[in-house]
């Protein structure tokens, strides 16, 4: 039987991906072009209400035509959809335009492409809300480059949107995969282990370290699977399989309530809703990892 590690990566479809706008990086540096894009008759804004989108009666994203945004409403350029400008803004939603939908709930019900657009808008706007002052001199910062930077009014330092790298992985043997349960999970849910990549650390090293720290299991070869933007607040989840070299579990109780080895039959039953535990929903990369492994 072919091994998961016989190929450099496993193609996979992941939620919150499929964003197909032309992000037009060159336009972000041109203030006149950005102004023209805002004045375009077809320009539309995704109005984020407390970082959550509004949906219409059919469950689709609400795009508003807004040229003059009120004070305190920052707008970021998302890109062009078929040549038409698309923006997102926070702090100025019209309550009569659709119904506010929790961002996580919207991600579960929207098509992956639309979820990816919400992910871009939410992460960018969240970052702006957290970085209104310069980390170097403490002066206020101003939105720049169409929302893809902030510039300090005091020292002119440029600040760029942050993305936090996270590894999410399954330690696997020929027959079993390691899953765990964090204290904040809904009752009964099990998932892949995950953790932030540290400075001076490769993705592979982070995978091995996190599994060892959280569950006491040593791993060797690492196979990349897929990645996913995760806008809570602005992470990039990098999914992988890791070949287990030991199987004894020693749980770090500060990180996990429980960890266990599960078989492919166990995962298949959980995916069908017939197990005594359940797995993350299909839009989450943990679901993709578990399904990919169970089907391998």
- C-alpha–C-alpha distance, residues 91 and 85, integer Å: 20
pLDDT in tens, the chain (296 residues): 567 666 555 555 788 999 999 999 999 999 999 999 999 999 999 989 999 999 999 999 999 987 667 776 889 999 999 999 999 998 776 666 788 999 888 888 899 899 999 999 999 999 999 999 999 999 999 999 999 999 999 999 999 999 999 999 999 999 999 999 999 999 999 999 999 999 999 999 999 999 999 999 999 999 999 999 999 999 999 999 999 999 999 999 999 999 999 999 999 999 999 999 999 999 999 999 999 999 98
CATH among 2.30.30, 3.90.79, 3.40.50, 2.40.160 for 25-130: 3.90.79
CATH among 3.90.79.10, 3.40.50.1370, 3.50.50.60, 3.20.20.60 for 164-295: 3.90.79.10
Domain with CATH 3.90.79.10 in the chain: 164-295
Dihedral sign from CA coordinates of 73, 107, 18, 41:
negative
Estimate the crossing angle of helix 264-271 against helix 285-295, to 10 degrees: 130
């Amino acid at each position: 039987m072919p091994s998961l590690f016989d190929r450099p990566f496993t193609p996979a479809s992941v939620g919150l991906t499929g964003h197909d706008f032309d992000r037009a990086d060159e336009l972000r540096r041109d203030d006149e072009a950005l102004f023209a894009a805002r004045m375009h008759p077809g320009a539309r804004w995704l109005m984020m209400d407390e970082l959550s989108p509004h949906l219409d009666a059919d469950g689709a994203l609400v795009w508003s035509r807004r040229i003059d945004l009120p004070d305190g409403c920052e707008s970021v350029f998302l890109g062009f959809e078929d040549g038409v400008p698309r923006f997102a803004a926070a702090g100025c939603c019209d309550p009569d335009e659709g119904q506010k939908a929790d961002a996580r709930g919207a991600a579960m019900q929207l098509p992956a492409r639309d979820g990816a657009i919400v992910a871009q808008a939410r992460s960018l706007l969240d970052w702006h809300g957290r970085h209104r002052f310069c980390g170097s001199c403490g002066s206020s910062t101003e939105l720049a480059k169409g929302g893809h930077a902030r510039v300090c009014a005091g020292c002119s330092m440029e600040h760029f949107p942050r993305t936090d790298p996270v590894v999410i992985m399954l330690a696997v043997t020929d027959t079993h995969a390691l899953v765990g349960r964090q204290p904040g999970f809904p009752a009964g849910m099990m998932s892949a282990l995950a953790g932030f990549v540290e400075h001076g650390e490769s993705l592979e090293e982070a995978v091995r370290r996190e599994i060892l720290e959280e569950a006491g299991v040593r791993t060797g070869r690492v196979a990349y699977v897929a990645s996913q933007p995760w806008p809570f607040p602005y992470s990039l989840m990098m999914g992988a399989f890791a070949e287990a070299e030991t199987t004894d579990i020693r749980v770090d109780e500060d990180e996990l309530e429980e960890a266990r080895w599960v078989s492919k039959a166990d995962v298949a039953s959980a995916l069908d809703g017939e197990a005594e535990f359940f797995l993350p929903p299909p839009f989450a990369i943990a679901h993709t990892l578990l399904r990919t492994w169970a089907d391998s």
